Amino acid sequence: MELMIFPFLILVIAAAALSVFLHFVPLGLWISALAAGVNISLFNLVGMRIRRVEPRMIVLPLIKGTKAGLDLNVNQLEAHYLAGGNVDNVVDALIAAHRAQIDLSFEQAAAIDLAGRNVLEAVQMSVNPKVIETPTISAVAKNGIELKVRARVTVRANIDRLVGGAGEATIIARVGEGIVTTVGSAEKHTDVLENPDHISQTVLEKGLDSGTAFEILSIDIADVDVGRNIGAQLQTDQAEADKQIAQARAEERRAMAVAKEQEMKAYTQEMQAKVVESEAEVPKAMAEALRSGHLGVMDYYNLKNIEADTDMRGSIAGHEVKGSSD
């Protein structure tokens, strides 16, 4: 029984040792590289395993690039892989640029890839320009009519400005700004409707692709719609605001008049109180004058006669007014 187990253990150990050996020494990948004419040593592949680099991610793109006629070496690809780059995508971009006769070095492609941009898509966009459609942009002409404009911007990637250049959002924002400025400078909205390509020409002359990763080839106006009469609406809103201001001022004046009226009533009552107070002092003054000899008895009776005469005249006048009214 022990004699049967021993060969089995040896077989298991041998299989495990072979598996570990093939893991650290990728013979199949090395043979594929040699067959493709790529000169890479077996020790280099083992070193990749030790440095925790997946050999397949380096060797297969290297084979692909060598077959396409690119001058690449293992150290370049491994350094880019260790930096967190996409080696396969970079090699594909280099092959596409080589086929399209675009001057693109490995250093440029690696920098673009590490900057977070899709370098293969950028090369493809250099060959086949991309069309960016703007959202509906609202602009108002000088006569107050709103126009809703949609544009299609044809751009081509600028390889030299991909690192540090602005993206599509900047292109859309600048084109929108140019459309608003152009429509806003038109005297009438019909001028824009009659000649919409004037918007394209004006916007293109502004050099909107400066500082971006793209080169604007053309700007085409896809659609122009007439919107609201913004000028009339603003005038209506202004008239309503003026009306409310006038009403507020009238209410303020009315409140001031009411307050003034109440003030005058209070002042009148105050004056009447002073009159009553003064009238109450008259008998005292007359008594004092009689005692002091400044007023005689005859003078007092003459004064009373005058008062009676005055009351009689007032009574007669009151009856006459009442009779005439009847």
What pLDDT shows up at residue 19?
Answer: 61
Higher pLDDT, 304 or 174: 174
Percent of the chain past pLDDT 70, that is, above it, reads: 83
Per-residue pLDDT, averaged over 162-167, amounts to 78
**Domains of the chain, residue spans:** 2-127, 130-232
What pLDDT shows up at residue 321?
Answer: 45
- Nearest CA to 222 among 172, 139, 151, 136? 151
Higher pLDDT, 129 or 305: 129
Number of H helices, E strands in the chain: 13, 4
Q: Is the pLDDT of residue 168 over 70?
A: yes
Percent of the chain past pLDDT 90, that is, above it, reads: 0
Q: Which CATH architecture has domain 130-232?
A: 2-Layer Sandwich (3.30)
Higher pLDDT, 250 or 317: 250
**pTM here?**
0.56
Most confident range (mean pLDDT) of 9-23, 154-168, 182-196, 249-263 is 249-263
What pLDDT shows up at residue 292?
Answer: 76
* Integer Rg of the chain from CA: 52
Contact 208, 178 (CB under 8 A): yes
Higher pLDDT, 288 or 97: 97
What pLDDT shows up at residue 176?
Answer: 87
26-48 confidence digits (pLDDT tens): 666 767 777 767 777 777 777 77
CB atoms within 10 A of CB 12: 10
Higher pLDDT, 166 or 24: 166
d(CA 300, CA 321): 32
d(CA 169, CA 192): 25
Average pLDDT of the chain? 79
Higher pLDDT, 154 or 161: 154
Per-residue pLDDT, averaged over 124-133, amounts to 85
Q: Residues of 187-204 as b/e, b for ≥16 C-beta within 10 angstroms?
A: eebebbeeebeebbebbb
- Nearest CA to 165 among 130, 214, 232? 214
Q: Is 58 left (phi over 0), alpha (psi -120 to 50) or beta?
A: alpha
Sign of CA dihedral 236, 241, 247, 250: negative
Lowest mean pLDDT among 100-104, 123-127, 202-206: 202-206
In angstroms, the Cα distances linking 282 to 270, 286, 287, 293 are: 19, 6, 9, 16
What pLDDT shows up at residue 10?
Answer: 63
Q: Is the pLDDT of residue 325 over 60?
A: no
257-276 confidence digits (pLDDT tens): 888 888 888 888 888 888 77
Higher pLDDT, 173 or 276: 173
Lowest mean pLDDT among 74-88, 150-164, 312-326: 312-326
In one-letter notation, the amino acid at residue 164 is G
What pLDDT shows up at residue 192?
Answer: 76
73-100 confidence digits (pLDDT tens): 888 888 888 888 888 889 888 898 888 8
What pLDDT shows up at residue 16?
Answer: 59
Lowest mean pLDDT among 6-10, 191-195, 209-213: 6-10
Contact 160, 107 (CB under 8 A): no
